[in-house]
């Protein structure tokens, strides 16, 4: 009888240890690294009134995971993008080179609508920086980019099965609401700003009226063999009209990447 008690205690101990180990397991992270090419249209009247069109290469790295907040309904996303563009004007007698970086850090509330369709709503901190170099300008060949904002963001996730394999479709849109942007006055040189110290009015509050921008993406995750691939289309429209300077960057990018899912303890 005593032996049976020991066996029962040992079984209960194992069950408790297993339950505790399961509770201590962390959330599943989804991380994707993607590369892509596409078309871009650029205008920056600080450099030229012309519109430049050409190609753009883009790299992105995203991590999305469920947190323990509100019983797992709060999700967190970090999203980094870096891109390089090379464009011509309409007369094909001048070129620009553009390098930009964008980093988002967002929090979302996830609401299932059906058994396989979820909507995530939230906001994100949005940091942007880079430059555009005009290859014919003499006095002011470079236009710097620096912009920080708080974005409204929404995602829709649709989980499907194709030939007994999981297919995840996602749509995401980010809309900048309120932020700060560095922008020189029209005709003002960076020498005047940084060497002489004439910085008045070069840092402006931004709203959807002064920077009407929208970043959208549509992606599909599908396993091929032992690798899950992500196919993404990005439509990125960034605009600003500040200090009598108009600028826009419109990008249509097709990307392909690898998705990795892992669990943190």
Q: How far apart are CA 74 and CA 157, in angstroms?
A: 15
pLDDT of residue 5: 54
pLDDT of residue 138: 73
pLDDT of residue 164: 87
pLDDT of residue 137: 79
pLDDT of residue 22: 44
Q: How far apart are CA 43 and CA 31, in angstroms?
A: 33
pLDDT of residue 26: 67
Among the listed residues 120, 114, 147, the one whose alpha carbon sits nearest the alpha carbon of residue 131? 147
pLDDT of residue 15: 46
Neighbours of 68 (CB within 10 A): 9
Q: How far apart are CA 121 and CA 74, in angstroms?
A: 10
Contact status, residue 95 vs residue 87, Cβ threshold 8 Å? yes
Low-confidence ranges of the chain (pLDDT < 70): 1-26, 265
Neighbours of 71 (CB within 10 A): 6
């Amino acid at each position: 009888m005593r032996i049976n008690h020991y066996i029962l205690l040992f079984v209960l101990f194992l069950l408790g240890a297993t339950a505790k180990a399961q509770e201590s397991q962390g959330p599943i992270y989804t991380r994707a690294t993607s590369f892509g090419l596409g078309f871009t249209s650029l205008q920056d009247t600080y450099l030229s009134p012309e519109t430049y069109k050409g190609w753009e290469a883009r790299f992105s790295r995203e991590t999305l995971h469920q947190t323990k907040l509100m019983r797992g309904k709060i999700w967190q996303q970090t999203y980094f993008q870096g891109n390089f563009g090379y464009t011509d004007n309409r007369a094909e007698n001048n070129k620009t080179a553009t390098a930009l970086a964008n980093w988002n850090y967002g929090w979302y509330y996830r609401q299932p609508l059906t058994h396989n369709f979820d909507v995530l709503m939230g906001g994100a901190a949005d940091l942007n920086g880079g430059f555009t170099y005009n290859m014919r300008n003499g006095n002011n060949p470079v236009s710097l980019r620096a912009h920080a904002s708080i974005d409204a963001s929404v995602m829709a996730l649709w989980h499907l099965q194709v030939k007994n394999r999981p297919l995840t479709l996602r749509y995401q849109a980010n809309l900048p609401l309120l932020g700060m942007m560095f922008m020189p006055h029209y005709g003002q040189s960076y020498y005047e700003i940084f060497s002489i110290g004439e910085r008045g009015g070069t840092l402006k509050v931004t709203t959807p009226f002064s920077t009407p921008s929208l970043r959208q993406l549509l992606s599909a995750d599908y396993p091929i063999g032992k690798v899950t691939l992500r196919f993404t289309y990005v439509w990125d429209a960034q605009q600003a009209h500040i200090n009598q300077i108009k600028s826009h960057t419109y990008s249509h990018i097709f990307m392909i990447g690898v998705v990795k899912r892992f669990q943190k303890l």
